């Protein structure tokens, strides 16, 4: 009887955390409304059509990266290589356009998937901690980027207008970049909430030992999460090249920390087992909006970093407090059932 109760703990913990996740997402929306409202009072153009468009475009690439990162973090892992993967993919995309535009896009996504495959194999099969693996591949992939670039820079003049339109044009006023991001978010959210392989990621993060006991292929699921993270980072690299046109070997430097911050601030527990891609995307939107608001208010960039760090620490502390309370509640519930 006790074994059955132990295997049920991950699912009960996930359900208990569902309400907290909803509260966190609502809190992000309220904070976002406050930031936008205060900034708009100072500069009404902040809420103009172009202002809103710029906010969404600035948040899209980070929000896109949070999709793969969320799947990884849910399993109690982390992918610190996404910024380097994005940069390498962006440069390769721009550099191969002279051969075939369609091939260049496939190459960009494929390179990201290969990087994710490497990370996943080392973590899932090699049993190496993800923090160590992805910190190493962060530097390896960035080094490959510099070696390939050899000091060169890809300019917008070297890229087709149709490709550049992905980062600037749109349909009915909605940028293609926003549409692509929303589609990827919707697919990931549906997978995590409605498919067994998606739900198993939460079980792995909640209790890896119990996940093994119930027959969940832990290694395969973790490997797939890293593969998806790499592929999404590759796609983000393609869109980065389309958005900015000018790409060099420094593209995406430091972006991984912003992505991890957005995921955690968005309600994805750094200890694994709970969170949604929608919340992570809202976290990305909040952090990028704060950055834009500080620029409008002529506040030094230092405060943007300080605010981001403070939000990250607060989110981690909140996650830890909630996890301890849930564990205590589940223990009391288990004792009550046993009695």
Q: Using an 8 Å Cβ cutoff, are 275 and 74 in contact?
A: yes
* Averaged confidence pLDDT in the chain: 85
Quote the pTM value.
Answer: 0.86
Task: Say what percent of the chain tops pLDDT 90.
Answer: 44
Number of domains the chain contains? 1
pLDDT band at 9 (very low <50, low <70, confident <90, very high): very low
DSSP 15: H
Q: Is residue 312 part of a domain?
A: yes
Inside any domain, residue 29: yes
pLDDT tens digits, 205-226: 988 888 888 989 999 999 999 9
Separation between Cα atoms, residue 63 and residue 186, nearest integer Å: 12
DSSP 134-164: HHHHHHHHHHHHHHHHTT--B-GGGS-HHHH
Say which residues have a Cβ less than 8 Å from residue 82's Cβ, sequence separation at least 6: 65, 68, 69, 229, 230, 233, 236, 252, 255, 256, 259
Q: pLDDT per residue over 294-331, tens digit each?
A: 888 777 767 777 877 787 787 777 767 766 676 666 56
Whether residue 176 is contained in a domain is answered as yes
Distances (CA, A) of 81 to 88, 246, 262, 307: 11, 22, 15, 23
Indicate the length of the chain as a whole number.
Answer: 339
Residue 32 has a pLDDT of 85
Q: What pLDDT is attached to residue 131?
A: 94
Q: Is residue 241 part of a domain?
A: yes
Is position 14 within any domain? yes
Per-residue pLDDT for 128 more than 90? yes
Q: Report how far residue 15's alpha carbon sits from residue 221's, in angstroms, rounded to the nearest whole number.
A: 21
Q: Distance between terminal CA atoms of the chain?
A: 12
Whole-number pLDDT of residue 322: 67
Within a domain: 339: no
In tens, the pLDDT along 84-119 reads 999 999 999 988 886 777 788 888 999 999 999 999
Contact 244, 167 (CB under 8 A): yes
The CATH code of the domain that includes 197 is 1.10.3470
Domain with 155, as residue range(s), is 2-334
């Amino acid at each position: 009887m006790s074994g059955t109760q132990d295997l049920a703990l991950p699912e009960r913990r996930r359900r208990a955390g569902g309400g907290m996740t909803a509260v966190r997402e609502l809190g992000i929306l309220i904070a976002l409304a406050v930031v936008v409202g205060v900034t708009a009072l100072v500069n009404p153009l902040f809420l103009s059509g172009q202002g809103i468009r710029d906010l969404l475009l600035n948040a899209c690439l980070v929000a896109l990266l949070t999709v793969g990162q969320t799947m990884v973090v849910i399993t109690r892992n982390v992918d610190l290589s996404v910024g380097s993967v994005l940069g390498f993919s962006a440069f390769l995309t721009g550099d191969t356009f002279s051969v075939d535009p369609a091939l260049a896009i496939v190459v960009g996504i494929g390179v990201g998937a290969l990087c994710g495959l490497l990370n996943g194999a080392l973590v899932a099969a090699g049993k190496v901690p993800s923090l160590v693996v992805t910190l190493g591949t962060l530097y390896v992939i960035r080094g490959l980027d510099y070696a390939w670039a050899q000091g060169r820079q890809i300019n917008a003049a070297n890229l087709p207008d149709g490709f550049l339109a992905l980062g600037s044009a749109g349909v009915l006023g909605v940028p293609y970049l926003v549409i692509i991001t929303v589609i990827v978010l919707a697919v990931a959210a549906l997978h995590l909430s409605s498919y067994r392989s998606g739900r198993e990621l939460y079980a792995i993060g909640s209790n890896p030992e119990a996940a093994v006991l119930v027959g969940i292929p832990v290694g395969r699921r973790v490997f797939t999460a890293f593969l998806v993270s790499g592929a999404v980072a590759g796609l983000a690299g393609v869109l980065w090249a389309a958005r900015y046109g000018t790409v060099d070997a420094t593209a995406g430097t430091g972006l991984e920390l912003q992505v991890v911050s957005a995921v955690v601030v968005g309600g994805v527990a750094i200890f694994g087992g709970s969170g949604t891609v929608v919340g992570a995307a809202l976290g990305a939107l909040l952090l990028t909006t704060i950055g834009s608001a500080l620029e409008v208010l002529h506040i030094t960039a230092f405060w943007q970093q300080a605010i981001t760090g403070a939000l990250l620490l607060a989110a981690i502390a909140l996650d830890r407090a909630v996890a301890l309370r849930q564990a205590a509640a589940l223990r009391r519930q288990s004792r009550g059932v046993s009695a």
